[in-house]
Structure 1
Amino acid sequence: MKKFIINIVLYLFSTGMVYAQNNLPGGNLNGSTIILTCSDSCVPLSVKVPHLKAGTDYKVIEIPYAPFPYFVEGGTEDYRTYTTQRFSLAFSLPFNFCFYGQKYNQAVIGSIGIISFDASLSGLSCPLYSNYQLPLPPNSNLVPRAAIMGMYSNLSPARFLQNEDTTLCTSPFDRKIQWRVEGTAPKRKFIVSYYKIGSFGNDSSATYISPCFFTPNTFQIVLHETSGLIDVHIGNRTCLPVHFYGNAILGIQDWSRAKSVTAPGKNSTLWTAHHESYRFIPSDSASRFLGAEILDMAGNSLAFADTATSLPGLLDLQFQNICPGPTLTKYIIKTRFLTCQAAEEFITLDTINVVRKYHLPATASVVPATCGNNSGSISIIVTDSLGVPPYQYAINGGSLQNSNTFTGLYAGSYPVLVVDSRGCDTAFTVSVNGNATLSHTLFVKNAFVLQLTIPALLLLRLLRVLARIFQRLQGLAGLIPIVAMGQLFLITLLPVLILTTSPMLLLAPVLEAM
């Protein structure tokens, strides 16, 4: 038995239960998310993957809208497909494709949103099934055999339609019907794109422009090698054709025209869609799944998968007792399937990233720094009961400490990290503001005034004596004589006015008036 090993990267963002659609060969990861709360340490890690079975029947599921580029430089086109209701010439597929239990290597592309594996339709007219208003399966030879219908409807890819008395604009100038192959074996993708394709309709406004000219149809069909998956991406279908009631089919049918599967509500009905995607998964009773295990990045096996089915077309893989780290942990999920021919085994090695996205909610109280000094501080408080004490704290990328308070800080921004006993953490930035205003208290201490009453006859003599004294005391005691109304007042400059400030003391001498 041959084996194919396929490496694919998946991204899963953390959560307590894990929902993941594994990216099997030719598939894509479909936006799955893992949530791990701080109360989770070791958890069952689960992923959902397409459950590949024998391809004689199919299940259809809706997937996130993620098309490939609708056109590329060098893609293949056939001018016949730009004629209304016409098939391209038959061409060889880049790989054998399993479809409804058969293996096909040729196909034709229809101008009205259909692919057929019936090479005998090469270059022929492409019948418009919606003329008959019948849903699939038709059990009629009116519909092409072995067909994939992305938007099987009354499309008009021609830029102009010549009516009896006028030329009608239908598709924009930049419209394209193009196909190509991407990737390498055994995980190649065959991509068929219909880009800005108009719908057939009458010119009811006499402007010679189809009513759907400004809202054309865009969609894509993707065939996946090895897995046999079929994806249909609808970019836009918002304007319906006027003729034949605007019905359209999004589905598949087998060679015998007896079996078919369609997307819900899209089986020859009036429907609109914008950014919708669907996946058709081979889903007969015989499973092609062989086994799965989860590995660390060194390749060591951690657990084998338990399997279950909770949704049609998907397989649940659960790995018990997986213990991701506090931030990012990578694992490899190794899955083994048989190819659609059931003769070869292929292995997927899918790298997943488990990220602990849930953090410990925390707040911080701040004391501002004053006048350029390192007088600021930060105190951190964890506000969530999911964390497990004791907590440790760090700022500026420094070492963790047990105290939740950081002092001696200048004004600025400080990255803060909080970690609980199991490594669950949170990180945020705290700003310490600067305060340029001095806080102060003003008071006068021990001020006094000396007041003397002197008879007028003695005043002149006393003044002469005091003048000599003041000459000696000037600048020392700070005494100032004032004579008014026969009285002498001596006022001292000492003691002083004391100005108390934070964080320093300033002394300022003042003159105290009476």
Structure 2
Amino acid sequence: MKKYYPTTIISTLCFVLFASFASLAQGPGSLFVDAGPDQTATCANPCVDITATFLETFDTSGQNYSVDAIPYTPPFAFDGLANSINIATDDVWSPVDTLPFEFCFFGNLEQDFQVGSNGVIRFDVDPGDLSNGWNFDEDLPNNTNPTLGEANVFTPVHDIHPGINPGNEIGYEVLGTFPNRVLVVSYFDVAMFSGSCNSLLATHMAVFYEFSNVIEIYIQDKPSCPSWNDGNAAVGIQNNAGDLAYVPPGRNTSDSPWTTNDEAWSFSPVGPPTYVFEWLDDTGAVIGTTPTLNVCTTQPVETFTARVTYTNTCNGDIVILEDTVDVFQNASFTIDLGPDIETCDPLDIVLDANPSQLGLSYEWFYNAVSQGPSTIDDNTFTVTFPNSGTYSVEVFDPADPTCVITDVVEVTYLDQPVIANPAEDLFQCDDGVNTGVFDLTVNNPVILGGQNPGD
């Protein structure tokens, strides 16, 4: 049973988002929790394993990242992004733009970015410097050659020319809603620089994930032009100072010339975990903290909740995600006491287990105290006023007394409203043949009696 109830806490404010998590922009770096498929227990094996999966997040306030090859499954399109920067001009930076979410990069809280036409992105923006360099032969990290030193993310960096192929696109877009917004920056069918290489088209993108602060790079096509700038190219990320970088194996400048297609890399913060995982039973009590938990049930169905509390160590945001899984009891019969009962009437209530077959044995309980021995076909129980509380029944088939099914219902007798000064009775003084008409809206002393009209 898939139910997603993202609960977000920002600073001291608390919001509850009743939105299907599938409606949020998602990729491998997005927050999620999945409690797994519903399970069925049997009387012979009343215990089953339930397993949750979720995104693990880590402290983003440090300088450490892991570099991992990931499956090439681009979560977003390379073309058609909302903000085009196809200016048909070579070697330039885009104007400075602002992210609608805070992104933590090498421990810095970044909100401004620029896109360079040679496959690079920077957070250390400079609105007065719009020239994006192309000539380099140094490895990452580097802070001496502006081509490398002025950039933070290399998708890869190589000399490409957006003014050659009329069908090319360079663009970006922010997709999704809190806490899973993403910045997507893409280079689609951009020609390699140099006339002899203009027919070679490069397509690659970078994806920046809110909250998890993961960066992914997807390379659909990365050709090489060894006759120009020695075919130099590099993939990776580096800090603003240009003295620390993370580069996939075989993808630095000194590995050039290199080509690839359908390749993807993830750059994830490394540090202490910033999530807490819990399993809850249907009362809301925490019953486990490991993703896989063995649970036992004797009820027809019991719901368990997987809950993950995420903390963004960069800005203090907290997000709580939940998903539920049902465990069904697969007995040869079923019972159902129905929903909980609340009533103002001071009358007895007859509970019915609604069995699916005859010949079953029933033992009834009030607030966990047995109300008598187990009895065949005793499928009803009378609740007497004013005994509010928890009523349950344990049922088994005498042919298999080891298979016991339990159901529970809460009965609550509510206090009846008290009328302090009831109205007096009204009488009709005639022969009883004619119809007596009383206008109760006039609120005169005859109608009100001792009542206060302000009540």
State if a TM-score over 0.5 links the two structures.
yes
- Percent of pairs identical after alignment? 23
Structure 1 match to 2:79:
71
Please give the residue correspondences for 1:113-512 in structure 2 after superposition, counting only pairs within 5 Å.
113-120=119-126, 122=128, 124-128=130-134, 131-132=136-137, 134-142=138-146, 143-145=148-150, 147-159=152-164, 171=165, 173-203=166-196, 210-212=198-200, 216-237=201-222, 239-242=223-226, 243-268=228-253, 269=255, 270-284=257-271, 286-289=272-275, 291-295=276-280, 300=284, 303-306=287-290, 318-322=291-295, 332-349=305-322, 351=323
Does the Cα contact within 8 Å between 1:4 and 1:347 map onto a contact in 2? no
| One of 21, 30, 35 as aligned partner of 1:27 | 30
1:65-124 Cα shifts (integer Å, max 9, x gaps): 232122337x112344x3222111112222222111111221110001111012215552
- Residue pair 1:148, 1:251 contacting (<8 A) in 2 also: yes
Q: Deviations over 1:407-461 (max 9, x none)?
A: xxxxxxxxxxxxxxx9xxxxxxxxxxxxxxxxxxxxxxxxxxxxxxxxxxxxxxx
The aligned length equals 310
Residue segments in structure 1 that go unaligned for 5+ positions in a row: 12-22, 160-170, 204-208, 307-317, 356-389, 391-421, 423-514
> Residues 79 and 275 from structure 1, CA distance in 2 versus in 1: closer, same or farther, beyond 3 angstroms?
closer
Inter-CA distance 84–247: structure 2 relative to 1 (3 Å threshold): same
Q: CA deviation at 1:4?
A: 6.3
Range with greater deviation from structure 2 (265-274 or 90-99): 265-274
1:321 shift after superposition? 0.8
* Uncovered stretches (5+) of structure 2, i.e. residues with no partner: 1-10, 333-402, 404-455
Q: Deviations over 1:9-67 (max 9, x none)?
A: 789xxxxxxxxxxx799627799x99x9x999623626363332133221122333232
Could you tell me whether the CA contact under 8 Å between 2:203 and 2:220 is conserved in 1? yes
Amino acid at match of 2:83: T
Partner SS, residue 294 of structure 1:
strand
| CA-CA distance at 1:236 after TM superposition | 2.2
Which one of 111, 114, 117 corresponds to residue 111 of structure 1?
Answer: 117
Deviations 1:127-171 (A, max 9, x none): 126x22x22112435324461111111222222xxxxxxxxxxx3
Aligned mates of 1:232, 1:121 — CA distance in 2:
25
Which TM-score applies when normalising by structure 2?
Answer: 0.57
Distance 1:26 1:177, change over 3 A: same
* Structure number with bigger Rg: 1
Match of 2:53 in 1: 47
Q: Distance in 2 between matches of 1:304 and 1:273?
A: 45
Per the alignment, do residues 196 and 303 of structure 1 end up closer, same or farther by CA in structure 2, a change over 3 Å counting? farther
More strand by share: 1
Task: Read off the aligned partner of 1:72 and give its amino acid letter.
Answer: G
The CA distance in 2 between the partners of 1:346 and 1:30, in whole Å, is 12
User: What one-letter code is carried by the residue in structure 2 that aligns with 1:246?
Assistant: G
* Aligned partners of 1:89 and 1:123 also within 8 Å: no
One-letter amino acid of the counterpart of residue 210, structure 1: N
Judge conservation of contact 1:25–1:187 (CA < 8 Å) in 2: no
**In structure 1, C-alpha distance between the alignment counterparts of 2:236 and 2:19, rounded to whole Å:** 28
Contact (CA 8 Å) 1:339, 1:345: kept in 2 or not?
Answer: yes
- With over 3 angstroms needed to count, the CA separation of the structure-2 counterparts of 1:25 and 1:232, relative to structure 1, is closer
- Distance in 2 (CA, whole Å) between partners of 1:55 and 1:113 is 26
Letter in 1 for 2:67: V
Change (3 A) 1:331 1:150: farther
Residues 58, 280 of structure 1: 8 Å contact kept: yes
**Which whole-Å CA distance do the structure 2 matches of 1:225 and 1:108 have between them?**
17
The TM-score, its normalising length taken from structure 1, stands at 0.51
Match of 1:91 among 93, 97, 112: 97
SS in 2 for 1:135: coil
- Match of 2:224, SS? coil
Q: Deviations over 1:373-419 (max 9, x none)?
A: xxxxxxxxxxxxxxxxx9xxxxxxxxxxxxxxxxxxxxxxxxxxxxx
What letter corresponds to residue 279 of structure 2 in structure 1? I
Cα deviation per residue 1:180-200 (whole Å; 9 max; x = unaligned)? 111123321111111111212
How far, CA to CA, are the matches of 2:139 and 2:15 in structure 1? 39
